[in-house]
Structure 1
Amino acid sequence: MAAHAKLLLYIVVVDESGASSFRYTRSLLHSTLQLMGCKPRHAFEISRRVFDVVRGDPAEMEMESQGKSGGVQRYELPDAATSPRQFQFELYKRRTTVLIPRDLFLHLVCQALALYKYLAPNQRNHLTLACRIRERKESVTVLLCGTSGCGKSTLSTLLGSRLGITTVVSTDSIRHMMRSFVDDKENPLLWASTYHAGECLDPVAVSKAKARRKAKKRSGVSTNSGMDYEGSGDKVEGKPIGKKQMAIEGYKAQSEMVINSLDRLITAWEDRKESVVVEGVHLSLNFVVRATENHNTVLFPLYTYFPSIFLALSNYVENALLSVSFPVKVEL
């Protein structure tokens, strides 16, 4: 029998097996709907409506639960004897919490979405995926690339806030973390500024390494992704190269060091089912391609270059990201 709760703060969504459950607040459901693609104001209204329906007339809820596996239930007090303080806490949970089957929960949310014209052929699947990400049963990794000063940090913060992703990481932070394990004399390349890293390399060694890579490429031998500047014993003629090319080679060498650590971090985030936004100048195109092949959580690599079109780009990126992950059709 459905339960009527005057004060409803938590909806505990219970899976069909009953083995797992997840507690939603209005703000958490709000962020889940934003992750799905709803506008913030619509997500606020839809989450409020869902909580109002669950808190509303018991007879109406019984009609909604027809054909669904179970209905709304009140939180049950534990049978075991507890301390007075623990009993008060359990009584508070009973007054503010209801349990609802996942099938009925998805049905109520989809009904509210339809009222605000959020329609899509696979609407329920999109909502289920958004819930799995919010419940940390799945995760996503967003890569944001671009040159310095183009707005990566601002855009990553906006995306994290918009999608409800609390972990926003810069590749500069990863580089600073790596510096804790080695001093500037042991690895001057790691301690150098990104655009002056070429000054830490030997121009002759760089030239010879480039010649070796070109020779291997002509012979059809696959080259290593790392920067081989120390030589492999091959007799290859090389000559010093210009400052611009040295700056590029220094950037590539430093980026390779940083993204090797980032690759391990992405693997750890995947294991913990933690969603994250990563931004930085060290995210090269080669790494982005490799990451999308090796990690199925990397949904959409993003690039920004021109600060003058930042606002237009931020709206475009947000819509593009959501259309790739959760294609919700909006008809207003």
Structure 2
Amino acid sequence: MAKTLVIKEEDKTRIPFLRGILTRSLQEAGMPFGDAYNLASDIRDDLSDIDEITVEDLRERVVSQLTNLHDNKVLERYKALAEAQPVIYVESPEGLSAPYSNEQFRRELEIIGLNADESAAAVEKMYQHLIDRGDPSITTDRLGYMTYRCLHLDPNYGPEIANRYLVWVNFCRSGRPLILLLGGTAGCGKSTIATALANRLDIVRTQSTDMLREVMRMMIPERLLPVLHTSSFAAWKTLPVKPCSKEDEITNQLIAGYRTQADLLSVPCEAVIQRGLKEKVSLLLEGVHVQPSLVNSISKEEDAVVVHVMLGVLKQKELKKRIKGRGTEVPQRRSERYLANFEDIWRLQAYLLDEADRNQVPIVVNSNKENALREVMKIVVDRLEDEFTSTPAAVFGREYKPEKPPPEQSEPDQA
């Protein structure tokens, strides 16, 4: 099927309709990625029988869809962004140019701790400042320093937020990889948080320990290693242990089964981490098998920044609700099986949180997705602050201009 061509009336140029471009424009207007992607997909389907469409007609279709969604905030921002605005190009030190992106800037501000409203306000202020400059291009160093200065001088943000931005920019330019390890029991939201973190932190390589376990199951039959072919909370049932009824004994057996399975998974987990270190690429590894020993397996001589976080849900009703909700995303039988073994899942979480606390691993309570995301990103930047202590002059080079102290005022003569 041929792509629909979008025509720009002013110069009669024709370019293919690209769903990704529309998705990005909707994100810059404040729409979450999933909703933006779905709307852009709907527009693409509507255009499947149309060979050509003008930019104005395409915008009208998007506006009509946004109106039907009754999201006035996104609608107004999209209409404002769709108006003819000069394109500002950002020039990298390598001489490459790319259009300035509000969405990328907003994402950077959310990484350093600003919420959605704060980052949107800062983005709007910075973009207007760039427009007012009247210069069609700006270097990355100049843009970075302007952002640092705006954050530093704005009473809503201040020096602390400005320094966090400086640390993040310094890390991104360092070439050092980030190894983010995310642990937690079944149903605590690891996969959801991991997907969102990878998107916001621009981590391309992600890996689930469940997937690694599945690969090992294909390689090693159940009759040879039964402890591998069951859930982490039920692994103890495959061990040669005596039946017991006391709570402490049950918990100890459960922990023994989990640790046996986790030790088996440590081999492929370490291999994935070592591959990331070798290629110097950032990596996000998530799963119930992520434990402190993985961090200890990384040599201190490596230049990677390693961050280990444990997720938890501290209310039984909330965890049960999450597991029930999994029935709409994973096979219903798995959800039912998890609920039937809920007490073991709860015991396993207690052990994981206790181990995290004992090994000084930060624990993030996942009672709200956005709050949990901000907390994890705060932990990441806090860790980066331990590694990166450069000054604005070192990060932004010749664009940095130290502030001159205000001139001293002489005391008026006394009559």
What TM-score do the two structures reach when normalised by structure 2?
Answer: 0.48
The superposition leaves residues 254-296 of structure 1 with CA deviations (integer Å, 9 ceiling, x where unpaired) of 1112122122212333445544443322122333444485763
Whether 2:251 is the aligned partner of 1:252: answer no
Whether 2:190 is the aligned partner of 1:152: answer yes
**Deviation of 1:326 (Å):** 5.3
Change (3 A) 1:8 1:150: same
Higher relative contact order (CA 8 A, sep 6+): 1
The superposition leaves residues 72-98 of structure 1 with CA deviations (integer Å, 9 ceiling, x where unpaired) of xx6xxxxxxxxxxxxxxxxxxxxxxx3
Whether 2:124 is the aligned partner of 1:48: answer yes
Whether 2:271 is the aligned partner of 1:264: answer yes
Distance in structure 1 (CA, Å) of the matches to 2:279 and 2:101: 22
Change (3 A) 1:51 1:273: farther
Q: Is the 8 A contact 2:234 2:254 kept in 1?
A: yes
Q: Is the 8 A contact 1:133 1:140 kept in 2?
A: no
Whether 2:123 is the aligned partner of 1:115: answer no
What is the DSSP-based 3-state SS (H/G/I as helix, E as strand, rest coil) of the residue aligned with 1:108?
Answer: helix
CA RMSD in angstroms, aligned pairs only: 3.8
Q: Select which of 309, 315, 320 maps to 1:301.
A: 309
Show the 5 A alignment for 1:33-72: 33-58=109-134
Q: Select which of 188, 200, 208 maps to 1:170.
A: 208
Q: What is the percentage of aligned positions where both structures have the same residue?
A: 20
Distance in structure 2 (CA, Å) of the matches to 1:173 and 1:23: 38
What is the DSSP-based 3-state SS (H/G/I as helix, E as strand, rest coil) of the residue aligned with 1:120?
Answer: helix
What is the DSSP-based 3-state SS (H/G/I as helix, E as strand, rest coil) of the residue aligned with 1:311?
Answer: coil
Distance in structure 2 (CA, Å) of the matches to 1:13 and 1:38: 26
Change (3 A) 1:142 1:24: farther
Q: Select which of 322, 325, 332 maps to 2:384.
A: 325
Distance in structure 1 (CA, Å) of the matches to 2:124 and 2:240: 63
Distance in structure 1 (CA, Å) of the matches to 2:96 and 2:278: 19
- Residue aligning to 2:92: 14
Distance in structure 2 (CA, Å) of the matches to 1:147 and 1:302: 9
What is the DSSP-based 3-state SS (H/G/I as helix, E as strand, rest coil) of the residue aligned with 2:89?
Answer: strand
Q: Is the 8 A contact 2:270 2:297 kept in 1?
A: no
Q: Is the 8 A contact 2:89 2:99 kept in 1?
A: yes
**Deviation of 1:252 (Å):** 1.3
**Deviation of 1:26 (Å):** 1.8
1:311 maps to a residue whose letter is: S
**Deviation of 1:22 (Å):** 6.9
Q: Is the 8 A contact 1:302 1:317 kept in 2?
A: no
What is the DSSP-based 3-state SS (H/G/I as helix, E as strand, rest coil) of the residue aligned with 1:302?
Answer: strand
Distance in structure 1 (CA, Å) of the matches to 2:143 and 2:283: 27
What TM-score do the two structures reach when normalised by structure 1?
Answer: 0.58
What is the DSSP-based 3-state SS (H/G/I as helix, E as strand, rest coil) of the residue aligned with 2:366?
Answer: helix
Distance in structure 1 (CA, Å) of the matches to 2:375 and 2:127: 32
Change (3 A) 1:185 1:22: farther
Change (3 A) 1:138 1:26: farther
